[in-house]
């Protein structure tokens, strides 16, 4: 397990079914959160986690940077295609990062202090996937900060992703 601090942690993750997840170790994925609105917003959120919908449907190594900071960051909207704010509860103190087919097989674990977190999801490199919607150059940055209650999902900037 990695202990998150103010430094960035760079991961290379596989994307499958056009998504990856970051959830509390003890949380279950909420299938009802994966709805048409979530697809449009690029994020499905539930109490214990989020699913981030990606521009590429399938990749082997997609860059993901995860950072824990002390307070709500100021978003740099000009540097990303799509930016959203969400929240999650992490009572276990352990976050799992994985794509659907990596469940239980190739999950990344990150240690954080137990509690509630805001989550800024920044996505870039849209429109670079191949003719099959695979192997794009999209990249993702997740910034977490502790908060009293997780913020509601809201999109600050919509990407160039096809509807």
Q: What is the pLDDT of residues 30-60, one digit of tens each?
A: 888 988 888 888 899 999 999 998 877 767 7
Query: What pLDDT score was predicted for residue 13?
Result: 81
Query: Nearest 10 degrees: CA dihedral of 110, 71, 138, 8?
Result: -50
Helix (H, G, I), strand (E, B) or coil at 159: coil
Mean pLDDT of the chain, nearest integer: 84
Give the model confidence (pLDDT) of 62-96 as tens digits: 889 999 998 999 988 988 989 999 999 999 999 99
Query: What pLDDT score was predicted for residue 22?
Result: 94
Q: Whose CA is closest to 50, among 3, 96, 92?
A: 96
Dmax over CA atoms of the chain, in Å, equals 44
Query: What pLDDT score was predicted for residue 61?
Result: 79
Query: What pLDDT score was predicted for residue 137?
Result: 75
Burial of 11 (C-beta count, 10 Å sphere; 0-12/13-18/19+): middle
The proportion of the chain whose per-residue pLDDT surpasses 90, expressed as a percent, equals: 41
Q: Give the Cα separation of 111 and 109 in Å (integer).
A: 7
Burial of 149 (C-beta count, 10 Å sphere; 0-12/13-18/19+): exposed
In the chain the domains, ranked by start, together with CATH numbers, are 2-157 (2.60.34.30)
Q: Give the Cα separation of 125 and 84 in Å (integer).
A: 15
Query: What pLDDT score was predicted for residue 116?
Result: 97
Query: What pLDDT score was predicted for residue 1?
Result: 44
Mean pLDDT across 118-130: 83
Listed as own residue / partner, the contacts of 73-79 with beta carbons closer than 8 Å and 24 or more positions apart are 73/120, 73/143, 73/145, 75/120, 75/122, 75/156, 75/157, 76/122, 77/156, 77/157, 79/122, 79/124
């Amino acid at each position: 397990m990695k202990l998150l601090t103010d430094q960035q942690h760079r991961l290379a993750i596989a994307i499958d079914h056009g998504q990856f997840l970051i959830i509390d170790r003890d949380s279950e994925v909420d299938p009802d959160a994966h709805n048409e609105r979530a697809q449009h917003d690029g994020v499905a959120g539930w109490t214990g986690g989020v699913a981030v919908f990606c521009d590429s449907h399938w990749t082997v190594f997609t860059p993901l940077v995860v950072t824990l900071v002390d307070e709500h960051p100021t978003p740099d909207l000009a540097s990303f295609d799509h930016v959203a704010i969400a929240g999650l509860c992490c009572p276990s103190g352990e976050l799992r990062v994985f794509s659907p087919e990596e469940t239980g097989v190739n999950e990344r674990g990150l240690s954080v202090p137990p509690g509630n977190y805001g989550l800024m999801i920044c996505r870039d490199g849209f429109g670079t996937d191949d003719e099959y919607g695979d192997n794009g150059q999209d990249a993702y940055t997740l910034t977490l900060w502790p908060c009293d209650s997780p913020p509601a999902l809201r999109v600050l900037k919509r990407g160039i992703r096809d509807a």
